[in-house]
């Protein structure tokens, strides 16, 4: 099957995990990985097991890996390599960065988040607020589970709001936020705009300069790469922060100031292979078109016994769908599908604490990614229709 310049069968042939007929619809929890990424990680462990500063081959090898990974991440996000910081994962990196930014915050200051956010983007601010005597305001969601922009404007206080933190795409429902609008509102209030793009980066191209954000975080394991955290830090903002780190560690270029301890160079080499893989497919744009066509196919064929939560169409979402089958527990459906070679997850709040009172006690999350096919979508729809 070919859509535009993207050949999904050719892409799938690069994944050993996809050769056995199992249909993975669990991309929001982490994607499968092409063999070349695993090969790159193994190669780095064999040939570049060292650390920065060693005056011999392995030291030079890891320096090259780090430099290349910074450049690749910068190109992926649309910034300079100096504005990139790596960490263990998004949540750990976010805790470190919020602490650095929060050194200058005071009691009475305010943080704004949204009800659609993954708690990895909220808990760091909640804990900082507890330490500092600050307040965290949560912006409501609309009936279609989108950001309520009127409520956002009500919760912004010029001179008191220090950060507006939000998910560019909701991990639970796939709902997409209007990032440029939110960043603009934050700027007008004198606040930082702080984006969780972990879910969004797997599905859409990103240009941080175009978005106008101050901080953006994502994770390669959502787009066929290894487990890492990546942060973009706007230079003129981050250069004012004092990081928490060991004192002799390098603080230049800028992003290095926020990287604590030894980085996982083998995973950075795997990340480089991930970017090369995406580039070989034509970048994110053709993958986006393929995924959206699958999402439209899924929505058009949704059986009457399935309830969809969140935006009804593809205009305000990425291809992630929160659903339930009438009269059947989500866990039972997930296990039943798994026995039939279809992988979906079930859970309660999906780490979206702000929507706990808006979501059912348990639900199914179906997440498409570019290696999924129309035939897999049709197979899933047939199985859902037959349950109950």
In a shared domain, residues 135 and 253: yes
> What is the structure's pLDDT at 255?
87
- State the CATH number of the domain containing residue 80: 3.40.640.10
> What is the structure's pLDDT at 250?
73
In a shared domain, residues 185 and 302: no
Distance CA 48, CA 266 (A): 8
> What is the structure's pLDDT at 1?
39
- State the CATH number of the domain containing residue 377: 3.90.1150.10
In a shared domain, residues 273 and 289: no
Strand partners, 141: 147
> What is the structure's pLDDT at 44?
97
Average the pLDDT over 6-22 and give the result.
97
Q: What are phi and psi of 193, to 5 degrees?
A: -105, 125
> What is the structure's pLDDT at 256?
87
Q: Return the structure tokens found at 216.
A: 């953006």
In a shared domain, residues 16 and 118: no
Domain stop point among 232, 249, 278? 278
Query: Crossing angle, helix 374-386 and helix 330-339, to 10 degrees?
Result: 130
Residue 136, pLDDT > 70, answer yes
> What is the structure's pLDDT at 179?
98
In a shared domain, residues 193 and 64: yes
Q: Give residue 253's pLDDT band: very low, low, confident or very high (50, 70, 90).
A: confident
> What is the structure's pLDDT at 248?
67
- Is residue 387 exposed (0-12), middle (13-18) or buried (19+ Cβ within 10 Å)? middle
Assigned domain for 33 exists: no
pLDDT in tens, 292-306: 999 999 999 999 999
Average the pLDDT over 272-276 and give the result.
98
Q: Give residue 123's pLDDT band: very low, low, confident or very high (50, 70, 90).
A: very high
Residue-range definition of the domain harbouring residue 129: 39-278
pLDDT in tens, 280-290: 999 999 999 99
Q: Which of 144-158, 251-265, 335-349 has the lowest mean pLDDT?
A: 251-265
In a shared domain, residues 220 and 335: no
> What is the structure's pLDDT at 5?
72
Strand partners, 113: 138
Tell me the CA distances in angstroms from 377 to 13, 42, 298, 336, 344, one per residue in order: 18, 33, 6, 16, 12
Average the pLDDT over 11-18 and give the result.
98
Average the pLDDT over 161-183 and give the result.
98
3-class DSSP assignment, residue 363: strand
pTM: 0.96
In a shared domain, residues 199 and 236: yes
Average the pLDDT over 215-239 and give the result.
97
% of the chain residues with pLDDT over 70: 99
> What is the structure's pLDDT at 3?
42
Q: Give residue 252's pLDDT band: very low, low, confident or very high (50, 70, 90).
A: confident
Strand partners, 324: 307
- Non-local (6+) Cβ contacts of 101 within 8 A are 163, 192, 215, 241
Domain stop point among 278, 309, 342? 278
Assigned domain for 342 exists: yes
Residues present in the chain in total: 388
Q: Are strands 320-325 and 306-309 parallel, antiparallel or unpaired?
A: antiparallel
Q: Give residue 115's pLDDT band: very low, low, confident or very high (50, 70, 90).
A: very high
Residue 200, pLDDT > 70, answer yes
In a shared domain, residues 72 and 87: yes
Which residue in the block uniquely carries the two structure tokens 């984006």?
195
Across the chain, mean pLDDT equals 96
Average the pLDDT over 154-176 and give the result.
97
Q: Give residue 2's pLDDT band: very low, low, confident or very high (50, 70, 90).
A: very low
For residues 26 and 248, which has the higher predicted lDDT (pLDDT)? 26
In a shared domain, residues 153 and 8: no
């Amino acid at each position: 099957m070919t859509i535009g310049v993207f050949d999904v069968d050719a892409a799938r042939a690069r994944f050993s995990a996809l050769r056995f007929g199992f249909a993975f619809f669990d991309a929001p929890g982490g994607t499968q990985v092409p063999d070349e990424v695993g090969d790159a990680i193994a190669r780095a462990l064999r040939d570049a097991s060292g650390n920065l500063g060693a005056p011999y081959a392995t030291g030079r090898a890891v320096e090259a890996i780090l430099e290349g990974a910074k450049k690749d991440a910068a190109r992926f996000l649309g910034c300079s390599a100096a504005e990139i910081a790596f960490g263990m994962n998004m949540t750990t990196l976010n805790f470190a960065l919020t602490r650095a930014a929060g050194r200058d915050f005071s009691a009475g200051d305010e943080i704004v988040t949204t009800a659609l956010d993954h708690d990895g983007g909220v808990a760091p601010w909640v804990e900082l607020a507890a330490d500092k005597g600050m307040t965290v305001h949560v912006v409501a969601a609309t009936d279609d589970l989108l950001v309520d922009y009127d409520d956002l404007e009500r919760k912004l206080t010029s001179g008191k709001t220090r950060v507006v933190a939000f998910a560019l795409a909701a991990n639970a429902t796939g709902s997409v936020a209007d990032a440029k609008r939110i960043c603009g509102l934050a700027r007008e209030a004198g606040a930082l705009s702080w984006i969780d793009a972990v879910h969004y980066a797997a599905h859409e191209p990103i240009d941080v300069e175009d978005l106008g954000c101050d901080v953006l975080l994502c994770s390669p394991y959502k787009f066929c790469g290894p487990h890492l955290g990546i942060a973009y830090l706007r230079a003129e903002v981050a250069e004012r922060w004092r990081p928490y780190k060991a004192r002799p560690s390098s603080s230049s270029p800028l992003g290095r100031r926020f990287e604590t301890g030894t980085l996982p160079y083998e995973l950075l080499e795997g990340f480089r292979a991930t970017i090369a893989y995406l580039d070989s497919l034509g970048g994110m744009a053709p993958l986006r078109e393929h995924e959206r066509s699958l999402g439209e196919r899924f929505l058009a064929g949704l059986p009457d016994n399935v309830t969809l939560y969140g935006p009804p169409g593809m205009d305000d979402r990425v291809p992630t769908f929160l659903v339930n089958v009438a009269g059947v527990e989500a866990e039972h459906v997930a296990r039943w599908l798994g026995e039939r070679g279809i992988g979906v997850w079930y859970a309660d709040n999906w780490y979206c604490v702000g929507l706990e009172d808006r979501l059912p006690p348990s639900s199914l999350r179906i997440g498409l990614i570019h290696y999924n096919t129309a035939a897999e979508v049709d197979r899933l729809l047939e199985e859902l229709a037959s349950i109950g």
